[in-house]
C-alpha cells in the first residue's frame, strides 16, 4: 500500500542522485543524506539480489525510475514484452516518477543500445504520441519524457525540438523531464540558443530536471562535438543554464546523473548540494532576480 | 542533392543498418552534415552501440575474456555483435549465442574448451538475472495418490540450467575467476566431460557437478517430461532422493498432472 510509506512516495523538489550498483551497499549501510534516488529501469528487470537490495533502499528513500529501452519514437511500435517488464518493475518499486526519452532505440527488431535522434516531423509526432499513450495506459500513470542529447539532425525535420516536446506533452498529458545538460550539448552541437529552448517549455509541464557532465570531442582544430557521457562534474555553463531553468520553472526535483567512471558517493552528494543551494535560491525567488 | 523525405519506418531501418552493419548508404543523404560529415556523426552512435554491448558481454563472459585477453575478446565481440545484434532492450538476455559463435570462430580454434566455458558462463548469467519465483511447497505433493506420482511433471525455477561440457569447464571457470594460475595449470583440459547443474541460491549462484544419471533425470524433469519418463532416462538410479533434494533447494516451482501414460 502506498499510504504506508507516507512521504517516501513522491519525489520532493530537492536534489537527488542517480544510484548505480557500486553504491547499493554503501547506501544500505551508511544511509547517505540524499533527498531521493533515481535508477535505470532496465537494470532491474530480473530477479535476485540486486533488485532485492533496491527494495531495501526504496523503504528509506523516494525513488524514481528512468527508462532507456521503451523506444518511444519507434515506427515499429512498442515492444509489448519490454513494456510488460517495465510495468512489473514499476509495480514492484512504486516509484514517485517514471520517465523515458524523446528518441528511438529499437528498429527492425533490434535494440540499438543508444538514444537515437528522431526526425522532427508531424509523422513522428503522431507516432511518439501514440506510443506515449500506450505506455501511460499500461502503467496507469503519466510519465515524463526527456529531451535527449543529439549529434545529428535530419534534413526533413520541420519542427524545432522544443516545440515537438511541448506538443507531445500537450497531446498526451505526459510531463517533461528537462535535461539541462542535454539542452546545452544539443544547442552547442546544432547552433541552437539554449535560452530559446528553455523559454519554450511550459513551467507546469516540467516535472524533473537532469544535470550531468559531458565531454568535448575534438574532430580537428576547428570542429568539436559535445558528447553527453555522464562522466564528470556538471560544467559551469550548465550550472548557469540550470539557474536560468529554475528561475523559469521554480523549484523542481533535480537529479545528478553520473554513469561513466562513477565516483564515490560523496562526489555525487557534493554536486547535489550545489543543485540544492540553487533550488533554495529559487524558492526565495533569488534565481528569478539573478536571471532577470 | 534533393532526396525525397523517408517515412519514419524507412529512416529507422536505414539507421539500424548504419549502427549495426556500418552501412550509411541509406541514411547519410538525410543527415544534416554542415562542417561535420554524416559518417563522423553516425560514428558516435555506432561507438555507443558497440561499447554498450561489449560491456554487456564482458559482464556475462568474464572468464572467456580473461582466457583470451581483452583485445582478442573485443575483436571477437565486434564480429558477434554485427551478426547477432540484441533483439530487446533487456541486455541481461543478450549474448545467448556467444558460445556457439566461439565454437565456429577460427581464431579461437586452439582453445577447444572455450565454448564450454562460455556455455557455463551463460548459465551463470541466466541464474543471476532469472526472475524471483516461489519454490514449490513439497506439501502440495503429499496429497497426491501414489498412482498419480508417475504422471507428475514439474516446472523448474528459471535460474536452473543443466550444462554438459566436453571439458572440465567448471574447474577452468573457477580457476580463471580466482586468478589462480597454479590451479589452472593443474587442470587437464582433456579430462573428459562434466555434468553440471547451475542454480541461484539466496547466497549467490552455485555450480555443482552431478552424475550423468542425475543430470539426465534432472534434464528430463526440467524439460517438463513426466516423472515416469524422466526415470527412464536413468534406470539404475535413486531418483527419489534427488527429487527431494531438488524440492528442498527450491529448484522446482510448480507441477501438473499429465494424462495417464500407457
- Report yes or no: A145 and A102 within 8 Å, Cβ to Cβ: yes
Query: Quick check: is B121 in a domain?
Result: no
The chain A residue lying nearest B2, using CA atoms, is A155
Across the interface, of A106, A151, A154, the residue whose CB is closest to B30 is A154
Q: What's the grid cell of residue A101? A: 526519452
**Do B213 and B156 belong to one domain?**
yes
Residues of chain B in contact with residue A111, where contact means CB-CB under 8 angstroms, are 85-89, 91, 94
**Do B105 and B134 belong to one domain?**
no
**Do B155 and B103 belong to one domain?**
no
What is the residue whose three cell numbers read 561535420? B36
- Asked if A156 and B128 come within 8 Å (Cβ–Cβ), the reply is no
On whether the pTM is more than 0.90, the answer is yes
User: How close A260 gets to chain B, by Cα (Å)?
Assistant: 11
**Do B35 and B106 belong to one domain?**
yes
The chain A residue lying nearest B5, using CA atoms, is A156
User: How close A225 gets to chain B, by Cα (Å)?
Assistant: 9
Query: Quick check: is B81 in a domain?
Result: yes
> Which are the contacts of A165, defined by CB distance < 8 A and separation ≥ 6?
A102, A145, A147, A176, A201
pLDDT of residue B34: 83
User: How close A280 gets to chain B, by Cα (Å)?
Assistant: 37
Q: Which of A91, A106, A111 would best serve as a mutation to test chain B binding (most B beta carbons within 10 A)? A: A111
- Report yes or no: B102 and B108 within 8 Å, Cβ to Cβ: yes
- Asked if A154 and B7 come within 8 Å (Cβ–Cβ), the reply is no
- Asked if B32 and A225 come within 8 Å (Cβ–Cβ), the reply is no
Residues of chain A in contact with residue B41, where contact means CB-CB under 8 angstroms, are 151-152, 225
User: How close B90 gets to chain A, by Cα (Å)?
Assistant: 6
**Do B85 and B207 belong to one domain?**
no
Average pLDDT in chain B: 94
pLDDT of residue A4: 37
Burial of B244-255, coded b for 16+ CB within 10 Å and e otherwise, reads eebbeebbbbeb
Query: Quick check: is B122 in a domain?
Result: no
> Which are the contacts of A285, defined by CB distance < 8 A and separation ≥ 6?
none
- Report yes or no: A39 and A257 within 8 Å, Cβ to Cβ: no
Q: How many CA atoms lie less than 13 Å away from A114 in the CB half-sphere?
A: 26
The chain B residue lying nearest A42, using CA atoms, is B90
**Do B50 and B178 belong to one domain?**
no
The chain A residue lying nearest B19, using CA atoms, is A112
User: How close B250 gets to chain A, by Cα (Å)?
Assistant: 14
The β-bridge partners of B208 are B197
Query: Quick check: is B43 in a domain?
Result: yes
Across the interface, of A46, A153, A223, the residue whose CB is closest to B129 is A46
- Asked if B8 and A118 come within 8 Å (Cβ–Cβ), the reply is yes
pLDDT of residue A1: 32
Domain termination site, one of B111, B142, B167: B111
Using the predicted structure, report yes or no on whether residue B1 has a pLDDT greater than 60. Answer: no
pLDDT of residue B261: 54
Question: In 10 A of CB A7, how many CB atoms?
Answer: 7
Please report the number of interchain residue pairs, chain A to chain B, with beta-carbon separation below 8 angstroms. Answer: 138
Across the interface, of B3, B6, B31, the residue whose CB is closest to A152 is B31
Distance between CA atoms of A99 and A97, rounded to whole angstroms? 7
Report the pLDDT averaged over residues B20-35.
95
**Do B104 and B152 belong to one domain?**
no
DSSP A45: S
Distance between CA atoms of B37 and B22, rounded to whole angstroms? 15
- Asked if A48 and B200 come within 8 Å (Cβ–Cβ), the reply is yes
ipTM over 0.85: yes
Residues of chain B in contact with residue A49, where contact means CB-CB under 8 angstroms, are 204
User: How close A43 gets to chain B, by Cα (Å)?
Assistant: 8
- Asked if A82 and B128 come within 8 Å (Cβ–Cβ), the reply is no
pLDDT of residue A2: 34
Q: Which of B88, B93, B160 would best serve as a mutation to test chain A binding (most A beta carbons within 10 A)? A: B88
- Asked if A222 and B35 come within 8 Å (Cβ–Cβ), the reply is yes
**Do B40 and B167 belong to one domain?**
no
**Do B147 and B218 belong to one domain?**
yes
Beta-sheet pairing, A110-116 with B161-165? unpaired
Query: Quick check: is B233 in a domain?
Result: yes
Query: In tens digits, what is the pLDDT along chain A, a chain of 292 residues?
Result: 333 333 557 999 999 999 999 999 999 999 999 999 999 999 999 999 999 999 999 999 999 999 999 999 999 999 999 999 999 999 999 999 999 999 999 999 999 999 999 999 999 999 999 999 999 999 999 999 999 999 999 999 999 999 999 999 999 999 999 999 999 999 999 999 999 999 999 999 999 999 999 999 998 888 999 999 999 999 999 999 999 999 999 999 999 999 999 999 999 999 999 999 999 999 887 655 454 4
Residue B95 — pLDDT band, cuts 50, 70, 90? very high
**Do B260 and B138 belong to one domain?**
yes
Distance between CA atoms of B246 and B240, rounded to whole angstroms? 10
Q: What CATH code is assigned to A11-291?
A: 3.20.20.150
Distance between CA atoms of A99 and A179, rounded to whole angstroms? 12
Residues of chain B in contact with residue A54, where contact means CB-CB under 8 angstroms, are none
**Do B152 and B182 belong to one domain?**
yes
Domain count, chain B: 2
Q: What's the grid cell of residue B228? A: 515416469
Q: What is the domain range of residue B48?
A: 6-111
Long-range contact list for B145-151, CB < 8 A, 24+ apart? B148/B257, B149/B227, B150/B226, B150/B227, B150/B228, B150/B261, B151/B226, B151/B227, B151/B228, B151/B257, B151/B258, B151/B259, B151/B260, B151/B261
Residue B77's region, left for phi above 0, alpha for psi from -120 to 50, else beta, is alpha
Residues of chain B in contact with residue A70, where contact means CB-CB under 8 angstroms, are 89
Distance between CA atoms of B106 and B131, rounded to whole angstroms? 36
For B42-61, how does the pLDDT look when each residue is reduced to its tens digit (9 = 90+)? 999 999 999 999 999 999 99
pLDDT of residue A3: 36
Distance between CA atoms of A20 and A262, rounded to whole angstroms? 8
Query: Quick check: is B119 in a domain?
Result: no
* Cα diameter, chain B: 80
Across the interface, of A73, A111, A123, the residue whose CB is closest to B86 is A111
N-terminal to C-terminal alpha carbon distance within chain B: 74
Query: Quick check: is B1 in a domain?
Result: no
- Asked if A152 and B9 come within 8 Å (Cβ–Cβ), the reply is no
pLDDT of residue B2: 58
Query: Quick check: is B102 in a domain?
Result: yes
User: How close A253 gets to chain B, by Cα (Å)?
Assistant: 27
> Which are the contacts of B54, defined by CB distance < 8 A and separation ≥ 6?
B74, B77, B78, B81
Residue B148 — pLDDT band, cuts 50, 70, 90? confident
**Do B224 and B262 belong to one domain?**
yes
Amino acid at each position: 500500500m502506498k499510504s504506508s510509506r507516507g512521504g517516501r512516495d513522491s519525489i520532493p523538489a530537492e536534489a537527488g542522485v542517480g544510484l548505480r550498483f557500486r553504491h547499493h551497499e554503501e547506501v544500505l549501510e551508511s544511509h547517505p543524506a540524499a533527498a531521493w534516488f533515481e535508477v535505470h529501469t532496465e537494470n532491474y528487470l530480473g530477479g535476485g539480489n540486486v533488485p532485492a537490495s533496491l527494495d531495501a533502499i526504496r523503504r528509506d528513500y523516494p525513488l524514481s525510475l528512468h527508462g532507456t529501452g521503451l523506444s518511444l519514437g519507434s515506427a515499429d511500435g512498442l515492444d509489448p514484452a519490454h513494456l510488460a517488464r517495465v510495468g512489473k518493475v514499476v509495480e514492484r518499486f512504486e516509484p514517485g516518477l517514471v520517465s523515458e526519452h524523446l528518441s528511438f532505440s529499437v528498429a527492425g527488431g533490434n535494440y540499438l543500445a543508444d538514444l537515437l535522434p528522431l526526425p522532427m516531423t508531424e509523422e513522428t509526432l503522431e507516432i511518439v504520441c501514440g506510443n506515449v499513450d500506450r505506455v501511460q495506459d499500461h502503467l496507469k500513470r503519466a510519465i515524463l519524457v526527456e529531451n535527449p542529447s543529439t549529434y545529428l539532425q535530419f534534413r526533413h525535420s520541420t519542427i524545432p525540438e522544443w516545440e515537438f516536446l511541448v506538443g507531445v506533452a500537450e497531446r498526451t498529458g505526459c510531463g517533461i523531464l528537462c535535461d539541462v545538460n542535454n539542452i546545452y550539448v544539443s544547442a552547442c552541437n546544432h547552433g541552437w540558443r539554449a535560452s530559446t529552448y528553455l523559454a519554450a517549455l511550459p513551467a507546469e509541464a516540467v516535472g524533473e530536471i537532469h544535470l550531468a557532465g559531458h565531454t568535448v570531442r575534438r574532430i580537428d582544430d576547428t570542429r568539436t562535438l559535445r558528447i553527453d557521457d555522464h562522466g564528470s562534474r556538471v560544467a559551469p555553463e550548465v550550472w548557469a543554464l540550470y539557474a536560468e531553468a529554475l528561475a523559469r520553472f521554480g523549484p523542481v526535483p533535480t537529479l545528478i546523473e553520473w554513469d561513466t567512471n562513477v565516483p564515490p558517493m560523496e562526489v555525487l552528494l557534493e554536486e547535489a548540494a550545489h543543485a540544492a543551494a540553487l533550488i533554495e535560491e529559487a524558492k526565495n525567488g533569488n534565481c528569478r532576480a539573478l536571471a532577470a | 542533392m534533393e532526396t525525397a523525405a523517408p517515412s519514419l519506418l524507412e529512416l529507422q531501418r536505414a539507421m539500424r543498418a548504419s549502427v549495426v552493419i556500418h552501412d550509411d548508404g541509406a541514411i547519410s543523404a538525410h543527415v544534416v552534415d554542415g562542417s561535420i560529415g554524416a559518417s563522423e556523426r553516425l560514428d558516435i552512435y555506432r561507438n555507443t552501440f558497440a561499447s554498450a554491448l561489449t560491456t554487456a558481454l564482458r559482464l556475462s563472459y568474464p572468464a572467456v575474456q580473461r582466457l583470451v585477453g581483452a583485445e582478442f575478446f573485443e575483436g571477437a565481440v565486434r564480429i558477434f555483435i554485427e551478426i547477432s545484434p540484441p533483439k530487446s532492450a533487456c541486455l541481461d538476455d543478450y549474448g545467448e549465442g556467444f558460445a556457439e559463435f566461439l565454437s565456429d570462430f577460427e581464431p579461437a580454434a586452439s582453445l577447444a574448451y572455450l565454448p564450454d566455458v562460455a556455455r557455463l558462463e551463460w548459465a551463470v548469467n541466466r541464474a543471476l538475472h532469472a526472475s524471483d519465483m516461489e519454490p514449490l511447497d513439497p506439501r502440495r505433493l503429499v496429497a497426491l495418490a501414489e498412482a498419480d506420482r508417475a504422471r507428475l511433471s514439474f516446472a523448474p525455477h528459471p535460474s536452473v540450467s543443466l550444462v554438459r561440457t566436453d571439458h572440465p569447464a567448471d574447474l577452468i571457470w573457477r580457476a580463471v575467476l580466482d586468478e589462480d594460475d597454479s590451479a589452472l595449470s593443474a587442470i587437464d583440459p582433456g579430462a573428459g566431460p562434466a555434468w553440471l547443474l547451475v542454480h541461484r541460491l539466496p547466497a549467490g549462484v552455485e555450480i555443482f557437478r552431478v552424475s550423468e544419471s542425475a543430470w539426465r533425470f534432472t534434464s528430463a524433469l526440467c524439460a517438463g517430461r513426466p516423472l515416469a519418463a524422466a526415470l527412464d532416462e536413468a534406470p539404475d538410479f535413486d531418483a527419489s532422493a534427488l527429487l527431494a533434494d531438488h524440492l528442498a533447494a527450491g529448484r522446482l516451482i510448480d507441477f501438473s498432472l499429465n494424462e495417464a501414460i500407457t
